[in-house]
Chains A and B, each alone.
Chain A
Amino acid sequence: MKVLIVDDEPPARARMASLLADLGGVEVLGEAGDGRTAVELSAQLAPDLVLLDISMPLMTGLEAAHHLATLDPAPAVIFCTAYDEHALAAFEANAVDYLVKPIRLERLQAALARAQRYSGPTLAKLQTSAPAQRTHLCARMRGNLVMVAVADIDYLIADDKYVRVHHARGEVLIEESLKTLEAEFEQRFVRIHRNCLVAKNRVTGLSRTSDERIFVRLANSDEQLEVSRRNLPALRKFVKGG
């Protein structure tokens, strides 16, 4: 079985590696120290199993598990954490097992056996496994996986059945609906048009052209995004308030 070890603590990774070596029959493909790297590495290396710590910088294990479930093939996930306050959320995130540290060899063995019988997440489970609010959006570009931090996003534009995600370093397409994104990140984005959400902290003001059309000005961007009449009152209120 091909395994990826993910933990932000080097000693914890070392211990996991030595436990796996003791068990045998396991090939460790690599290690990652945060959730985001874990997802990126998984997309590259296609492990069968990801051993995932929960509390990590950049992206928690819970969110990483959600992104991992969208990979094809999706790896099995076993959470390893020091404290069991996340147990429920972990199983909602479609985990095969949940281990508490310090991990016992026998317990790890049982979890690995369980992972071997695992056959990928079902679609129904996938849809319910989204954590309350992600920190990253996951996109595919020419077959590669790209993670975009939500904090880096300037605006989102609905484009056919995709959403164009414009962020600090470029643009990616994701297969999600603007409506669910709006619901998930309502504190962060404001709707300015039927097809467009803008990051609130990027809005610097509104401008009006001679033909009475209203545009949003954005920080560090020359892009002019048009505001629809319908969304104007709410947006005005936000610009004044902020």
Chain B
Amino acid sequence: MSTEPKPASTPDSSWLPDFCSLPVIVAVMIVAELTVLVILIAPSDESQPLLSRLGTVTVFVQWIAMLCVVVLCKSRAWLQRLPRLHGVLVAYLLMLAITLAGSALAFVLDQLLNLKLTLPAQYQWRFLLRNVALCALIGAALLRYFYVIEQWRARVQAEARTRLDALQARIRPHFLFNSMNTIASLIRTEPVAAERAVEDLSDLFRAALGADGKPSTLAAELELAQRYLAIEQLRLRERLHVQFDLAADLPQDRPVPALLLQPLVENAIHHGIQPLPGGGTVRLRARRQGDGVAITIANPRPAEGARAPSRNGMALANTRSRIEYHFGRHGTLDVSEGAENYEVMLYLPDTTSQR
């Protein structure tokens, strides 16, 4: 749903909707038909049966409306290039001109074929002017309506974009500086481990700094989580044990949001391992489940009172929103809190087949 291609409409120039799109055409047709009903319900000459007048008027009004739609659709690009006020005025005048011309054509045809569907010949100007006046009123309302809708849509889009930006996972600055300190201490004593830590850290920050909404893959995300834990293991040593349990049949190339797992693994360390003097084990399990992938991240849960100050809600809510955004409502994040264990369970459905 988020990938529906939008025609090039920057929020700034989108005062006029895309008249070639189905929703707009339908909206115009409905408004036209409502107008027809208003015309028919208004007290008037009742000499003709209502149903036949409904047919006639509908054909006429829809014809005018569709003419307007076609012309506005074709001239949209040009109209959008005009200054906004001029553009609106020109579009409006175009509609009035089309109504006038269309009405005139209908009137002349009617006179020629002698169908008596319009007014008698002496009322030609009355017929034309009334139609133009109707079009002027309804057209103004409709243009205004479309304008407001477009503005609203542009704002919603902009909001969604900024929200997504804000939701992009960020690595805690502590992690960078702690890692740098670890590396500084390893350089003398364990140069090989220091080298590996620099490589892991580079991969993590490459992902974090390059995470501008481009999706990553499941395999890359699992790899990053491993690199993160490898660095933390250097820092926490025997206090941190890691168990990776990845099924062999995982869809490795499945697109997932970048840095989706890292904040959860970070939480597992921050809330599960660090407050425990003896440390514990972080378990990461990934399984295929139907078309989707189920991932579980488990860590020990320190007793109440020994817990780290909770900023936990942030990362979880953030990750949940990102999953919803990328996978729709079938993507889920559930938490199970036991007395001594804490588990985050993700379900990432297959979205590739729906596109």
Interface residues of A (CB under 8 A from B): 8-12, 14-15, 18, 33-34, 55, 57-58, 82-83, 100-103, 135, 149-151
Contacts and interface: CB of A to CB of B under 8 A. Distances in A.
A171 to B, nearest CB: 20
A82 B177 contact: yes
Counting from the closest, the 10 A-B pairs by CB-CB distance are A15-B185, A82-B177, A101-B181, A151-B305, A11-B185, A102-B184, A102-B181, A82-B178, A11-B182, A57-B277
Interface in B173-191: 173-174, 177-178, 180-186, 188-189
A11 B182 CA distance: 6
A150 B274 contact: no
Contact of B174 (A12, A15, A57, A83): A83
B160 to A, nearest CB: 31
B235 interface: yes
Given A12-B181, A101-B178, A102-B181, A57 B305 contact: no
Interface in B263-293: 274-277
Contacts of B274: 8, 55, 57
B177 A101 contact: yes
B237 to A, nearest CB: 5
B112 interface: no
Nearest to A56: B274
Given A34-B277, A57-B277, A57-B306, A9 B177 contact: no
Interface string B290-304: 000000000000011
8 contacts: A9-B181, A11-B186, A18-B185, A18-B188, A58-B275, A58-B306, A82-B178, A101-B181
Given A11-B185, A151-B306, 16 more contacts: A11-B181, A11-B186, A12-B181, A12-B185, A14-B189, A15-B181, A18-B188, A18-B189, A34-B277, A55-B274, A57-B274, A82-B174, A101-B181, A102-B180, A102-B184, A151-B304
A12 B304 CA distance: 27
B211 interface: no
Nearest to A11: B185
Contacts of B164: none
Contacts of A12: 178, 181-182, 185, 235
Task: State the main secondary structure of chain B at its contact with A.
Answer: helix
B279 to A, nearest CB: 9
Nearest to B234: A11
A55 B184 CA distance: 19
Contacts of A14: 185, 189
Contacts of A150: 305
Contacts of A15: 181, 184-185
B340 to A, nearest CB: 15
Interface in B116-130: none
Nearest to B186: A11
Contacts of B143: none
A66 B236 CA distance: 26
A100 B304 contact: no
B275 A57 contact: yes
Nearest to A7: B181
Contact of B177 (A8, A57, A100, A149): A100
A57 B186 CA distance: 23
Interface in B220-245: 234-237, 239
A149 B305 CA distance: 9
A11 B177 contact: no
Nearest to A100: B177
Contacts of A33: 277
A68 to B, nearest CB: 19
Nearest to B239: A8
Given A82-B178, A151-B303, A151-B305, A11 B235 contact: yes
